[in-house]
Amino acid sequence: MPNHQASEQMLGYLYQVRYALALLMKNDNADFQISIEKFDDVAFSKDGVPKQLIQLKHHIQRQGSLTDGSTDLWRTLKVWIDVVSESPDILSGTEFLIVTTAIAPDGTAASCLKKDKNRNAEGAYEKLKDVCFRSENKDHKKYYEAFLKTDETIVKCLINQICVIDGASDIIDVEKDFRKQIRYSCIPKYENQICERLEGWWYKKAIEALCSDTPIFVTQSQVRSFIVSVSQEYSDDNLPIDIFDIGILQENDLSASEKIFYEQLKLICLGSRRMQTALRDYYRAFKQRANWVRNDLLYVNELEKYEQRLIDEWEHAFAAMEDDLAGYSGVTEEEKITEGRRLFSEIEKKDIRIRPKCQEAFVMRGSYHMLANQLKVGWHIDFCDRLKKLLDTQEGGDGDEQLEHANT
């Protein structure tokens, strides 16, 4: 398959998914459900019964013309003739839409099926029937045969319920269509981020539907609820959470500059399961904070002020641990480890949010690990003395030798 043909086919699939979102958001019937590649390219249904079957035709740079001999037109007619021949009842209360980026020239069958004052379904039928007798296109022979062999009453009824929408938005412009729908649901400066989140969610839904053996429908209310939910994340008292799954991590995944927080946890002999969750918290917080910075979602010095709040809370708890250990007579290493682990557990349970409604706990826990990397906080009573040399060697020297020395 030539590259340009493969590209256009891929764009066609992506167009179906993106245009389906725009259609769902514009649909006036909130009870309708939308499906992709179940009843048709895209279909609106109610209680499992199709109400609109939609064939989408995308052409790069709107090339293409929906003439009476158009392959797009005849292929679609063949699909629908097969459908109504197998299930004639579908003609009762179902609309058939052809949405295309191409143009239906004046005087063609397709132009007669547009929803305007010149609509003439009977005239469209006669033009199509004439093509069946006059055309010498061998590739279309199966389409013409199906048209002529099917009961004339059924074909006429089908054509009467077909509507052509030509000159439709292409895959780029259709984004503008659903942007208009969400514009009044969000703060303007966050429109891009919310659109990206919406499309990411929508494409995931589409993939689930295409891979599922059972029908998956999405309603307009589901889309609206998602938009409202995401929009609420982009506010003065909240921040979006978009880092969810980062897989299984190991110590080897840490760079030299990231290993100090991990060594801090080793000092208090944390169990392997908690070490794994700490790794996950660290990476999620690191990536989430990076996303906030990259998307310019934070106020000036907001992260610095948040970290200072974390440090202040830790200082109170650490000072209490110092007092507790001072009460021991001849503190053993085991007692230091036990108290350090207790301190870490106490801090983990706190609820210190960067903004009031940003309630994902990994942000706080991972931020503490980032501070631990800089030795601004720690868990073992002697953490600073034992790990300071490791911090000093991050820019050079034999790291393994220094680490061994730091832990003795």
pLDDT at residue 34 in the model: 84
> Which of the two residues, 370 and 217, has the higher pLDDT score?
370
Distances (CA, A) of 168 to 104, 177, 188, 190, 193: 11, 11, 26, 27, 25
Average the pLDDT over each of 33-37, 237-241, 276-280 and give the range with the smallest value: 33-37
Residues 6 or more apart from 247 whose CB is under 8 A from it?
none
207 or 274, which is more confident? 274
Mean pLDDT on 29-38: 75
For residues 214 and 48, the answer to whether their CB atoms sit within 8 Å is no
Per-position DSSP letters for 67-130, written without gaps between them: -TT-HHHHHHHHHHHHHHHH-GGGGSS-EEEEEESSB--TTSHHHHTSSSTT--HHHHHHHHHH
Does pTM surpass 0.85? Answer: no
Top-ranked range on mean pLDDT: pick from 75-79, 168-172, 342-346: 342-346
Give the tokens for residue 320: 């209490």
- Are 127 and 112 in contact, with CB atoms under 8 Å apart? yes
> What pLDDT sits at residue 62?
52
Query: What average pLDDT does the segment 51-62 reach?
Result: 80
Q: What is the mean pLDDT of residues 230-238?
A: 91
Bridge partners for 320 per DSSP: none
Angle made by CA atoms 383, 384, 386, in degrees to the nearest 5:
65
Going across the sheet that includes 218-219, the strands are: 162-165, 95-100, 49-57, 42-46, 33-36, 218-219
Q: Using CA atoms, how far apart are residues 174 and 99, in angstroms rounded to an integer?
A: 12
**Which of the four pLDDT bands, split at 50, 70 and 90, describes residue 40?**
low
Residue type, 369: H
Give the Cβ contact number of residue 73 at 10 Å: 28
Range picked from 160-164, 173-177, 323-327 for highest mean pLDDT = 160-164
Helix (H/G/I), strand (E/B), else coil: 299: coil
pLDDT over 80 (residue 402):
no
Q: How many CA atoms lie within 13 A of 74 on its CB side?
A: 23
Q: Residue 43: pLDDT band by 50, 70, 90 thresholds?
A: confident
pLDDT confidence band for 246 (50 / 70 / 90) = confident
Interhelix angle for 259-267 vs 383-392, to 10°? 150
How much of the chain exceeds pLDDT 70, in percent?
Answer: 91
Q: How does DSSP assign 328-381, residue by residue?
A: SSS--HHHHHHHHHHHHHHHHT----SSTT---HHHHHHHHHHHHHTTSS-SST
Instruction: Identify the CA nearest to 81 among candidates 9, 167, 10, 148.
Output: 148
Looking at beta carbons, which pairs linking 273-276 to residues 24 or more positions away fall under 8 Å?
Answer: 275/251, 276/248, 276/249
In which band, very low, low, confident or very high, does the pLDDT at 272 lie, cut at 50, 70 and 90? very high
User: Average pLDDT of the chain?
Assistant: 87
Residue 155: pLDDT band with limits 50, 70, 90: very high
235 vs 239: CA distance, rounded Å: 7
Q: Answer yes or no: are the C-beta atoms of 81 and 147 closer than 8 Å.
A: yes
What pLDDT score was predicted for residue 64? Answer: 66
